[in-house]
């Protein structure tokens, strides 16, 4: 393919072929570190989507009939290619999304490991034999649900699409995935690894387009048997409702507003360092990013001082530049959201300790920001910031902190710091979240499940649970001598 400013030409992938789309409609792709247009993404027409649906239906028939050992071999070959190409995939991802190159490349390498895990787990999608009467065989079988329609955002350009693709393909399903129009080339290069590994045509199809048009068409189609989505709570609710109208199961990995509870017996310096590192990773554009810091009043002064110090040490710059620890926000929409949330908090009486504004340079850069004295009615404590904002709020009683942590409709991730086993167990028991990390703020791992409760969605990605949404359970009662 030709390149534009060192950036690949973006194409969709339908029925085993790279294509521009029926009408040539495109949208600009912007480098968030420079605000330069670096390419164009093709937008699918209804005819393109119908072509993808025809392809994914035929692809399912082929892939389902492929022996699991052969499927696993192809997926492992794709994982090897992702690993080999991680540096180039990471470079493209940084151009599109802005995160530091080390984060982008690391994401690609982790993606390969996720694929290997899911591919091997497909060999363990066991059924069972149930004891029954003489002459009867009663069994339970696990079978692929069918063609999947998947939709992913821009914040993890490699890992986001791969979670859906690797789970679906490992389970024996085919898939049409709508990649983000803001990070399309990364998704394209990921799909290329699967194609080059020998995946049959039609099993994996990549489209881009107007989100509402694409989702409505793919979800309503009788070809689609399951819907998988990662994104915001409002959009997730809309897609879940559309899926429900046509009785299609869905997997919803939605947003959060993760509390961090720093208990009185914790080390405030270590807690602040670990929390700050997680807060500013990917410029805070992570659905599990720590975003409300509830600190015991006996530690809050020391914790806050160390957190501010860590924030001011963060090197903000272009993701391809050596030494950058935090890149730009992914788009201008996030910049405006940061400015609005900070302005609202300050207007209500919060104190801005560091940051709080856009950096005076081209690109969508926003300074790492720490606020204290944030009142309970501030938007920042209720709306997922999805950016580098850290509100620190003291508490006097752990039950009070737990009540505040659980007060929102979100329930994706939560974090706690304590040296007490009893306190750790209390946090584990009472925090309403699908993901809890104690004494660290680590991210998702492929061998364990991730997902939310309450408005943060349902279903799990990762671990043995990752294939559940893509498999159906069939009971077979066989009378041997009718």
> Structural domains in the chain?
3-254+456-475 (3.40.605.10), 258-445 (3.40.309.10)
Tell me the pLDDT tens digit for each residue of 438-452: 999 988 899 999 999
Instruction: Determine the 3-state secondary structure of 438 from DSSP.
Output: strand
Q: What is the Cα Rg of the chain in Å?
A: 23
**What pLDDT was estimated at residue 444?**
86
- 266 — phi, psi (to 5°)? -80, 165
Annotated active-site residue in 58, 96, 181, 253: 253
* Contact criterion met (CB below 8 Å) for 203 and 63: yes
Tokens of 252: 């919803």
Annotated active-site residue in 173, 193, 287, 441: 287
**What pLDDT was estimated at residue 5?**
54
Tell me the pLDDT tens digit for each residue of 42-101: 999 999 999 999 999 999 999 999 999 999 999 999 999 999 999 999 999 999 999 999
24 contacts: CB under 8 Å, gap ≥ 6: 42
**What pLDDT was estimated at residue 133?**
86
Tell me the pLDDT tens digit for each residue of 142-187: 999 999 999 999 999 999 999 999 999 999 999 999 999 999 999 9
322 contacts: CB under 8 Å, gap ≥ 6: none
382 contacts: CB under 8 Å, gap ≥ 6: 257, 408
Tell me the pLDDT tens digit for each residue of 284-338: 999 999 999 999 999 999 999 999 999 999 999 999 999 999 999 999 999 999 9
Q: What is the DSSP string of 201-244?
A: TTSEEEE---HHHHHHHHHHSTT--EEEEES-HHHHHHHHHHHH
Q: Is 379 a catalytic residue?
A: no
CA distance 334 to 340: 10
Tokens of 37: 């247009």
Q: Is 287 a catalytic residue?
A: yes
DSSP state of 10: P
- 458 — phi, psi (to 5°)? -150, 160
């Amino acid at each position: 393919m030709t390149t534009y400013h060192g950036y690949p030409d973006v194409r969709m992938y339908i029925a085993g072929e790279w294509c521009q789309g029926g009408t040539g409609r495109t949208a600009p792709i912007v480098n968030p570190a420079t605000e330069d247009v670096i390419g164009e993404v093709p937008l699918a027409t209804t005819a393109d989507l119908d072509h993808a649906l025809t392809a994914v239906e035929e692809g399912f028939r082929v892939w389902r009939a492929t022996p699991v050992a052969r499927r696993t071999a192809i997926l492992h070959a794709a994982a090897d290619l992702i690993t080999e190409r991680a540096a180039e995939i990471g470079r493209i991802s940084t151009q599109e999304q802005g995160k530091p190159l080390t984060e982008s490349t690391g994401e690609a390498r982790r993606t390969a490991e996720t694929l290997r895990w899911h591919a091997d787990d497909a060999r363990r999608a066991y059924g069972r034999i149930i004891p029954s009467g003489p002459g009867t065989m009663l069994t339970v079988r696990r079978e692929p649900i069918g063609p999947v329609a998947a939709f992913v955002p821009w914040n993890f350009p490699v890992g986001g699409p791969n979670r859906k693709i690797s789970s679906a393909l490992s389970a024996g399903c085919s898939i049409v995935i709508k990649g983000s129009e803001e990070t399309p080339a990364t998704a394209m290069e990921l799909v290329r690894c699967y194609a080059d590994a020998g995946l049959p045509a039609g099993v994996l199809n990549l489209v881009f387009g107007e989100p509402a048009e694409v989702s409505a068409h793919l979800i309503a189609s009788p070809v689609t048997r399951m819907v998988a989505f990662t994104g915001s709570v409002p959009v997730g609710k809309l897609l879940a409702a559309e899926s429900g109208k046509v009785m299609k199961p869905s997997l919803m990995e939605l947003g959060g507003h993760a509390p961090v509870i720093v208990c009185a017996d914790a080390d405030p310096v270590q807690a602040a360092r670990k929390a700050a590192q997680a807060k500013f990773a990917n410029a805070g554009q992570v659905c599990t990013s720590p975003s409300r810091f509830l600190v015991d009043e006996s530690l809050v002064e020391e914790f806050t001082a160390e957190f501010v110090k860590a924030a001011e040490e963060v090197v903000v710059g272009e993701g391809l530049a050596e030494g950058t620890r935090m890149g730009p926000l992914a788009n201008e929409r996030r910049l405006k959201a940061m400015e609005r949330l900070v302005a609202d908090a300050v207007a209500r009486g919060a104190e801005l300790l560091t940051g709080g504004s856009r950096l005076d340079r081209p690109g969508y850069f926003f300074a790492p920001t720490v606020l204290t004295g944030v009142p309970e009615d501030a938007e920042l404590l209720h709306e997922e910031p999805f950016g580098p904002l850290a509100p620190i709020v003291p508490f006097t009683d752990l039950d009070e902190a737990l009540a505040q942590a659980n007060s929102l409709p979100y329930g994706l991730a939560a974090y706690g710091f304590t040296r007490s086993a009893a306190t750790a167990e209390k946090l584990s028991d009472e925090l309403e979240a699908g993901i809890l990390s104690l004494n660290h703020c680590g991210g998702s791992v492929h061998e364990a499940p991730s997902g939310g409760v309450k408005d943060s969605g349902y279903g799990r990605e990762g671990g043995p649970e990752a294939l559940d949404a893509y498999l159906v359970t069939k009971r077979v009662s066989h009378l041997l001598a009718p």
